[in-house]
A and B are shown apart, each in its own frame.
Chain A
Amino acid sequence: MGNEMIANGGVEYVAASYIITWVVLGVMLARVVGSVRRARSEYAQASKGEFQT
């Protein structure tokens, strides 16, 4: 079965692997950029003494 898939090129597996990689990296990018923005705004508020604990 495996050899048949290789003979057929297995292009769908290659495409899936690249799509998953880009989606995961995109999510990570959004996560890190979002966390920096949130933390920067928290710090700006806290350093002005507006932060409520």
Chain B
Amino acid sequence: MSPAPASSFAPPKPTPVWLGWLTFAFFIFTQIYAVVTSPADAMMGHLQKMMYVHVPAAWVTFAAFGVVLVASLFFLWKDDERADLLAASAAEVGSMFCGLTLVLGMLWGRPTWGVWWSWDARLTSTLVLFLIFVGYLALRSFVEDPHRRGQWSAAVGILGAINVPIVWMSVKWWRTLHQIQSNPRGLSPEYLRGLLLNVAAFTLLTVWFIWKRYEAARLERAAEHASQAAALGGYNG
């Protein structure tokens, strides 16, 4: 076991406040824009408007778990605790969006399929993804040693991220109640604009959430290190 580099314990630069305001203002705009400008669909009626929250939430779930994968690999390669803290921040945000995707999918499934839940491949693999990352977060709370915690959670993070392409491809590999991914080229421009704007807004929100959680995690580690240094200084003195 090697000590973490001193740079891991330095407090991070604060996240710009304007970025948070801009992100939330853009999110509110895209939500209103999509709901107001998209007409009722011939088949789905107004239920189509659920696409502007369900699809972006699913997209950012995949993106967040992509960050977990890359940061976990980087941690195992370079042994840099900052990568572990970034992976944990992304897992927390990703789990939240994964849970939201499941709930929104159930709300969409009830009026269209007549059931809240079906054990089909897409829904089940998404639930498995959610449980893997809840397990990832639970594991982190059980392990005290930061280095061991980083190694174990990186292993779970990497294995868990393997499920992301399975979730994505599940609608093509198996016969599912869930429809296959819509091709953006097949969508009318009035639906596509709202969808792309909301995907962009959810992505910005995710980046901001992960950044803030990472900032908090770095500050917590810096505080732990400073208090340990103060205690050692007092003991030596």
A→B interface (CB under 8 Å): 1-2, 5-7, 9-11, 13-14, 16-18, 20-21, 24-25, 28-29, 32-33, 35-36, 38-40, 42-43, 45-47, 49, 51-53
CA distance A36 to B31 in the complex (A): 27
Q: B209, A46: Cβ atoms under 8 Å? A: no
For A46, the chain B residues whose CB sits under 8 A away are 222-224, 226-227, 230
Q: B230, A18: Cβ atoms under 8 Å? A: no
In the complex, residue of chain A having the shortest beta-carbon distance to the beta carbon of B112: A2
Given the interface pairs A46-B230, A53-B228, the reply to whether A16 lies near B107 with Cβ below 8 Å is: yes
Minimum C-beta distance from B216 to chain A (A):
4
CA distance A45 to B53 in the complex (A): 41
Q: What would be 8 A-B contacts, judged by CB atoms less than 8 Å apart?
A: A14-B47, A14-B49, A16-B107, A21-B57, A32-B212, A35-B212, A39-B216, A43-B220
A-contacting 9-mer, from B67-75, B96-104, B146-154, B184-192: B96-104
In the complex, residue of chain A having the shortest beta-carbon distance to the beta carbon of B208: A32
Minimum C-beta distance from A47 to chain B (A):
5
Minimum C-beta distance from B78 to chain A (A):
24
Given the interface pairs A6-B44, A33-B212, A40-B219, the reply to whether A51 lies near B50 with Cβ below 8 Å is: no
Question: At the interface, yes or no: B54 with Cβ under 8 Å from chain A?
Answer: yes
